[in-house]
Amino acid sequence: MLVLSRRLGEEIIIGSHIRVTVLSVTGGRVRIGIAAPDDLAVDRAEVHNRRMGFVIDKVDGDCVVGLKDAGKRVAGQPKFSAMHDGRIYLFPDEGSQKKFLADPKKYAMVDVAIGGNCAVCAKMMKKEMPGKAEFTSVYKGMRYLFPSAKERTMFDADPASFVGKDTKLGAAPAVNPEAVAVTGKTACAGCAYGVRPITDADSLGIAVVAGDKVYVVEGGEKRYPDLFKARFDGVPVELKGTVKKSQGKFVWVEPTLVTKLR
């Protein structure tokens, strides 16, 4: 750690774009001014920690293993903890702790709200837009991701207005679903494209390839077992349903119909 002494009005330069100025000194309190680029987040430590989920309390300390596997919130204990990707996770017992450590990626995102999409974008623009981990806020034990600091600041000012009472884990706020009706050929979503169904991340899933789009069929393995077994064969099918999420060329669809074409 670099330790510097500065007088009132003097500055510290960090890199070539950040200037820190001592504005006032009163008793044991020092006021500083920070000039930094707009795309660089500058927060008090306690705000940063709260946003990134470092602070452990009775809500944020719930066990993600119980939330993922049983759909229940069970309070964790500090003596059963684990650090992963800069976050502290608490567990109620050693068994849950070991389960997490064996496959942290399976559980690490379980407390991400609305599928990682921006809650502000959903309400203000009526569209799904993926958020980024560097722009995160924690509200009522759930992490909300945003594409930039602008949306995060809007959310932090009044989070309740962007979170519906019926919002569930992994479900987007109420936005009229987009209907989809396409014809294409089957493929393995996980094997061929590295994507999986949202509601069943353990399944490799059925994909329907139509033009430059890849449609991932939600619940395909259970609903259409014969098509799932034959998904590698490029079976011509018709797919109808509603869009759950879209990201680039990938579209996740809640199906109402998947049928073979002759």
Residues present in the chain in total: 262
Contact 64, 89 (CB under 8 A): yes
Give the helix ranges, DSSP H, for the chain: 45-52, 64-69, 94-102, 104-108, 119-124, 149-157, 189-193, 220-223, 225-229
Distances in whole angstroms, Cα of residue 103 to Cα of each of 109, 133, 194, 200, 228: 12, 20, 18, 16, 26
Confidence of residue 204 (pLDDT cuts 50, 70, 90): confident
CA–CA distance, 102 with 96 (Å, rounded to integer): 10
Q: Provide mean pLDDT across the span 104-128.
A: 84
E strand map for 73-197 = 77-84, 87-91, 132-139, 142-146, 179-188
Considering only CA atoms, which of 171, 260, 184 is closest in space to residue 216? 184
Here the tokens at position 72 are 């229940």
Which tens digit of pLDDT belongs to each residue from 67-106? 778 777 788 888 888 888 767 788 889 999 999 999 988 8
CA–CA distance, 212 with 26 (Å, rounded to integer): 63
In this predicted structure, the answer to whether residue 55 has a pLDDT above a threshold of 70 is no
pLDDT at 56: 44
Confidence of residue 63 (pLDDT cuts 50, 70, 90): confident
pLDDT at 176: 53
Phi, psi of 184 (to 5 degrees): -170, -165
> Helix or strand or coil: residue 72?
coil
Confidence of residue 170 (pLDDT cuts 50, 70, 90): very low
Q: Which residue has better confidence, 183 or 84?
A: 183
- Lowest mean per-residue pLDDT among 15-24, 44-53, 141-150, 223-232: 44-53
In this predicted structure, the answer to whether residue 257 has a pLDDT above a threshold of 80 is yes
Q: Provide mean pLDDT across the span 184-206.
A: 88
Contacts (Cβ under 8 Å, ≥6 apart) of 216: 189, 195, 196, 197, 205, 206, 207, 250, 251, 252, 253
Question: Between β-strands 142-146 and 11-14, what pairing exists: parallel, antiparallel or unpaired?
Answer: unpaired
Q: Looking at the DSSP assignment, which residues form a beta bridge with residue 244?
A: none
Q: Which helix (H) or strand (E) element contains residue 260?
A: strand 250-260
pLDDT at 60: 54
Spell out the long-range contacts of 2-10 with Cβ–Cβ below 8 A and sequence spacing 24 or more: none
